[in-house]
Structure 1
Amino acid sequence: MSPSSELDLSPGASANPHARLDVLLEAVPLAVAVFDGELTLAATNARYRDLTGLELAQAIGRSIYDAFPNALADLTEQVDIAAGGVPVVSVRVPFQHRGGRRLVEATFVPLVDARGARGVLFAGSDVTEREGLREDLARSVAQLESIFDVLPDSVRVVDADGETVRTNAQAQQEHAPANPQTLRELWRLDRPRTLSGTTLFVHEHPTARALRGERVRGETLEVRRGVGNTIAVVEVNSNPLYDPHKRVRGAVTVERDVTERTRLQQRVQTEAERLERMVQERTRELLALQEAASRDRRLAAVGQLAAGVMHDVNNALNPIMTAAYLLEMNADNPVAVRDYAARISRAAETGAATAARVGRFIRQEPLLGSREHTVD
């Protein structure tokens, strides 16, 4: 509506245009009141009457200065300005409503009727809920800002071009005094590389990958921090930020300093490897000792066997030698020859049994049976 709109508000205007005006006002989703050239209420809608608590009969003909009885602010200045031909736009006015306090965004627009008489149009929009939501949002943002700044991790938010939008206190402290404003500046300062020593290019940075829609989780990198370019180990998580149309509009990156944890893990790993080497060396020593003890036992067993063999061989040879001598001396006596031959045979069997025991020992078979009886 123009600052000075034409509208026939005279009492002599036909009823039909007023009826059309009433229908039009009821269709408007605002509290609306039309005041004539004498600044008395000429037309209104139900939303205005609900806002002010006035019945239609009470409202029509009421002076504009008395048309807002429950307003909690003086509107005289705004009315005078609008009556002078200057619109007053978007004035926040509190009203005491039967349903509780309401906040209305009021506009006063000067009107000119067909006769050239001035009037005023009032339009009010109830912004109580919107303002409440705005206040809730402001409180939530303030709370998030507080949480954001007390986080022990470094948090950095960038836009789609890699420009820094927001950082928390930890991120600012870690990069002081440089305070990088772009992803490329951050990359140049950090000079990130993997734990194996591979340097990352700027497009390989977790934030750059998040700007391409990738979710980076738990990536461990070495970076340089502070004036002295101290090496730090950080665990990086980076997420893309989307608009309602699912387009990437930025990224948020969280870095946690895990330098001490990584060093501790490395020390634990080094100690574990050292202990493993000690266990292997000790195992080899024990195996060597066990082998030596086994050899000693075998040598002792061989010694015992040799002694037994010598004894058994002597037991076998002595009868043979004796029988051979007696056989020679009694060669003409058949009975004696047969007796001495039998003795030689038994002694030979004893020698064969001894040889068999030696063979079983060599083959690691159990030594069955006992030592043969001595041959007489």
Structure 2
Amino acid sequence: MRPCAFAIPGDHRQKTGGFIYERRLLEELQAVGRQVTHIALPAGAAAAEQSAALRREVSKVLEALPPDQPLILDGLVFAAMPPEALARLTCPVVAMLHHPMGMEQGLPADIAQHLLAQERTNLSLAAEIVVTSPHTRQTYIGLGADPARITVALPGHDGPRDLTRVEAGPRILSVGLLARRKGHDVLIRALARVADLEWTASIVGKIHDAAVADELALLIAEHGLGTRVALTGELPDAALAEAYRKARIFALATRYEGYGMALAEALCHGLPIVSCDTGAVPGTVGQAALLAAPDDPAAFAGHLRTLLLSQAARDELARRSRVLGQKLPRWKDTAAVMGLVLDGLRC
């Protein structure tokens, strides 16, 4: 097994889907005896806009890597690097991509277009590309990537599957960064439309965009949902697992997902799901979810109402969810896929 480096920006122990994926992949590669050097790049290396000094700092670190040592490069860093900087690297680059940075919600149009054009060029400079879902594979093929150089390594899930449910009333759980792409504003508006029913809701996730967090809090107050909808922030692992076990419905009104690790976690817990027909969501949740169009609170509310009122509908989706959850890979399986990519490189 050949040694390699894995460059990740900032604190790789952050509890977001992308960082969880890369941290667990790093740990599993090391656990099977691979010599993997973790390169902690500055957090700003993942930013859409960077100073010249920061770009020089990142380039200096990566250009020092030996030419015979593959580099697994975080997707945000990959997308943010100017093509000329990426081309100067002498080591083979394995791009670890979750979704195009230029497709992130809330970016100014000119910056989004620049990032997409830059990432399109960078794709030709990667020796191999690893993505988290078949949908993301097709997305990058659409951007011009060579299909023969793209490998899908689905995220792993190492927790227990199909745990005994803990009945705690009609609790609705949503898990995702407080970022515009996650659509929590749509969820709150949908919840306001089913306020005549009995339920409580928790939105779990760290603040990614303070303006979005403020807007969500204001929206909850405007709809008079302050005693029913909680913005819990980030939860410890044990508390989050307990929240999944006590939930009756998992709801994520996302505007786009490259995979949707929180959705997969809901499958592992056998939860019926309400989400949106966008990105990789249909491929992740299969027939275990009711899907609305993105940015459609009325349709989302209709699905919530169905599951809140119908035990039979909940039971059927929960059954499908458990079946899918049992089939999801473990992290060792994800690392095995990456290992095959690394061992197949020529350099």
Answer 1 or 2: which has greater strand percent. 1
TM-score by length of 1: 0.17
User: Which structure carries more relative contact order (alpha carbon 8 Å, separation 6+)?
Assistant: 2
